[in-house]
Amino acid sequence: MGRKALRTLVVSGALVAGVGLVGVSAASAMIPGDPGSSARDQSSAPVNYAVTKTATVDGLRVRMGPGTGSLVLGQIYAGEPVQVISSTRVAGGQVWNRVMLQADSAGGLSNGYVGWVTDEYLY
């Protein structure tokens, strides 16, 4: 099994188990409802995990948690695909998606990387 495939398998397993991985460049996940998060979850909507969306802008920030106050992990660029893992609405009404990159990003993030992006710039 290749290194990328193994890394993706580990990330996927951690997401299913609800365990956050931090410190590995290809796997950075956030536990929903983590008290250390700067997010203020207002509601969560059911998510179709088969949904793949694409960034509409260059330099879309991938964050540690939902909200502009969360640490920026890297960036994705227009046309780069992501798989939606979950979705939440924060105070003020903005919708944020927890996503997994489906390809290496021009912004330096690896395929399988997990983080949060605003839904406003995905289609």
Location of structure tokens 């920026």 = 72
State pLDDT tens for residues 68-97.
Answer: 999 999 999 999 999 999 999 999 999 999
Strands 81-90 and 72-76: unpaired
SS3 call for 33: coil
- Which has the closest alpha carbon to 87: 58, 54, 51? 51
DSSP H helical ranges for the chain: 3-17
State pLDDT tens for residues 21-58.
Answer: 333 333 333 333 333 444 444 455 565 667 999 999 99
Domain ranges in the chain?
A: 3-121
Q: Which residues of 55-74 are buried (b: 16+ CB within 10 A; e: fewer)?
A: beeeebbbbbbbbeebeebb
